[in-house]
Amino acid sequence: MKKFTSINDVESLDQLLDLAGNVKNNPYGYKSIGENKTLGLIFFNPSLRTRLSTQKAAMNLGMNMMVLNIDKEGWNIEMEDGAIMNQGSQEHIKDAAAVISQYCDIVGVRTFASLLNKEEDYQEKILSKFIKYATVPILSLESAIRHPLQSLADLLTIKEQSIQKKPKVVLTWAPHPKALPQAVSNSFVEWIKHTDVEFIIANPKGFDLSTEFTNGVEVSYNQEKALENADFVYVKNWSSFDNYGEISTQNSEWTITKEKMKLTNTAKMMHCLPVRRNVVVMDDVLDSENSLIMEQVNNRTYAAQAVLIKLLQHEN
């Protein structure tokens, strides 16, 4: 694998999931592969799970690591090619990406959507420039419109449940007081489409995801109907794609409750975290036996570790 920024970078999803499973069974079995290799983790935005799980994955592989909160510890980065840099930005992305490449064998980048400029976000402006100007493989730690490490961990979590029949998976929108990117949801759709499940998205009118991702997927505006017979309920808020970045002050009835979960086939509940408790999902669902949130968290390590192995194998 030359980079890991979307499912399109993955040659074989089955093989990658198998590798993640093997790594989980034997986390230190690949410790020689990372010797004298350095992972740089570059954060433009906050991160807890991704920050810690990717570090853990790299340490399990014996890699060296350097973490940079680039906005706070480095310089302000200019993103426009050809800019006359006589204003606030101090270093061009062209130089920053090339510089970091001199010191690292793989560079992880975390950068959120602006939610102000749909076109720039959906062109993955910052991530694309890192890919363009870095001279080593780029690992997405969440970008404007995708979060592939999360999706790989999510699919590993679903696979581990060993549902015999073809399971029904519902991705449902839920309320949230702030505008969130569509990245986790876009990515989940993009990845789940490559698996053998019955998949449906439930969201209020005005909150359809981009058809770039949902093309071919059933979308329902009736959450309760969508939940019927579900085996997995993936809950997630996202701000509007159509009215880009807007949030809903209505639709509070979309919160996932114990009562709604009764409509399902004793479904497992999933969420990528962080979660606004009792707004997105109620406590008694998050803390129930059917909640997979900590399995998802744990699998982040093995997802990252499998991806790092693939990137290192290319690099060697």
CB closer to its own copies out of 211 and 274: 274
Q: Residue 165 or residue 178: which is nearer to its own copies going by CB? A: 178
Of these, 8, 26, 32, 87, which contacts its own copies (CB under 8 A)?
A: 87
| Residues near its own copies (CB under 8 A), total | 61
Residue 294 binding its own copies, by CB under 8 A: yes
Residue 31 or 166 having the CB closest to its own copies: 31
- d(CA 219, CA 199) in angstroms, rounded, equals 9
Cα 95 from chain centroid?
27
Q: Does 51 bind its own copies (CB under 8 A)?
A: yes
How far apart are the C-alpha atoms of 306 and 114, rounded to whole Å?
Answer: 30
The nearer residue to its own copies, 55 or 187, going by C-beta atoms, is: 55
For residue 170, the minimal CB distance to its own copies (Å) is 22
Nearest approach, Cβ of residue 256 and its own copies (Å): 14
> Which is closer to its own copies, CB of 8 or CB of 249?
249
Q: Is 69 in the site for its own copies (CB under 8 A)?
A: yes
Residues 311, 5 contacting (CB under 8 angstroms): no
Return all residues near 32 (Cβ < 8 A) that are at least 6 apart. 62
Q: How far apart (Å, rounded) are the C-alpha atoms in residues 158 and 50? A: 19
Q: CB nearer to its own copies: give 259 or 283.
A: 283
Q: Does 116 bind its own copies (CB under 8 A)?
A: no
For residue 315, state whether it binds its own copies (rule: CB under 8 A).
no
Q: In the set 2, 15, 29, 46, which binds its own copies (CB under 8 A)?
A: 46
Dump the DSSP string for the chain: ---BSSGGG-S-HHHHHHHHHHHHH-TTTTTTTTTT-EEEEEESS--SHHHHHHHHHHHHTT-EEEEEEHHHHS-PEE-STT----SS--EEHHHHHHHHHHH-SEEEEE----SS-HHHHHTTHHHHHHHHH-SS-EEESS-SS--HHHHHHHHHHHHHT--SS--EEEEEE---SS---SHHHHHHHHHHTTSSSEEEEE--TT-PPPHHHHTT-EEES-HHHHHTT-SEEEEE----TTTTT---SS-GGGSB-HHHHTTSSSPEEE--S---BTTTB-HHHHTSTTB-HHHHHHHHHHHHHHHHHHHHHHH-
CB of 91 to its own copies, least distance (A): 4
Residue 74 touches its own copies, criterion: CB under 8 A: yes
- Residue selected from 6, 55, 111, 248 as contacting its own copies according to rule CB under 8 A: 55
Binding segment toward its own copies, per CB under 8 A, in 33-41, 113-121, 164-172, 200-208:
33-41
Per-residue mark of binding to its own copies, 151-190 (x: CB under 8 A): --------------------------x-------------
Considering the rule CB under 8 A, would residue 279 count as an interface residue with its own copies?
A: yes
> Would you tell me which residues interact with its own copies (CB under 8 A)?
27-28, 36, 38, 40, 43, 46-49, 51-53, 55-56, 59-60, 64, 66, 68-70, 72-75, 78, 82-87, 90-92, 94-96, 98-100, 102-104, 177, 273-279, 283, 287, 293-294, 297-298, 300-301
